[in-house]
Amino acid sequence: MAISVDPRRLGLLKQLAAEAGLRPGQLVQRWIEERLDAERSGAPIGGSAGSERLTRLEAAVAQLTNRIAALESRVEAGPAAGGTRSPVAPAHRRGRPRKDATTSSRHQRTGPAERVALHDEIIAVIAERGPSTAAELAAAIVERGRYRPPRSSRPLDAATVNSRVSNPIYRARFSRSGHRIGLAEGPAERAG
């Protein structure tokens, strides 16, 4: 004979069998035999162990129900009556925090100073000091203190300056001569 057990109940069956020190099939066999013997003798079904367990479970459920009711009344009463929180607490959201009205503007986050683009700062340093290496440009930009890397706590370095100068969007503004980076000739300079 084969018995099919609902998978949702199989875990409980295994747990009960382990508590009784039996395999699940042995426990099922014991239950069937108890039921058959009770039917044959006319005795009430479910031995004393089963009824004791049922009584304990019913008491535990009643205790939990009372605790839940007490918590519900505390929450509905609010903080003034000893409740700890309002009935509707904000849910914890996963991911990046939303921007609110106070931090939505880039200028409000960075303070009163206007954010300076790296390529503009490179151009300003080259205009002041002439063609320089990427390391010299990075040091001069850090020294000036106007440029802050966005979304990064890493300090400005030569690799970042080189990547900006090599970027196809900004490449036409700069010229390279060996290791030195200079300004590309503008339309007015080319004519003269």
Per-chain mean pLDDT for the chain: 80
Q: What is the pLDDT of residues 82-127, one digit of tens each?
A: 555 555 555 667 777 776 655 545 444 545 557 888 999 999 999 9
Task: Please tell me the pTM assigned to this model.
Answer: 0.40
- Per the CB < 8 A criterion, the answer to whether 144 and 125 are in contact is yes
Residues for the chain: how many in total?
192
- pLDDT score, position 189: 47
Contacts 24+ apart (CB under 8 A), 25-33: 28/3
Between 105 and 37, name the one with better pLDDT.
37
**Percentage of the chain lying above the pLDDT 90 cut:** 21
CATH of domain 114-191: 1.10.10.10
Q: What is the pLDDT of residues 131-148, one digit of tens each?
A: 999 999 999 999 988 888
**Percentage of the chain lying above the pLDDT 70 cut:** 76
**Vertex 178, ends 149 and 140: CA angle to 5°?**
30
Query: Where do the structural domains in the chain lie, given as residue ranges?
Result: 9-44+51-76, 114-191
- pLDDT score, position 188: 46
pLDDT higher than threshold 90 for residue 44: no
List of residues 6+ apart from 130 with CB closer than 8 A = 182
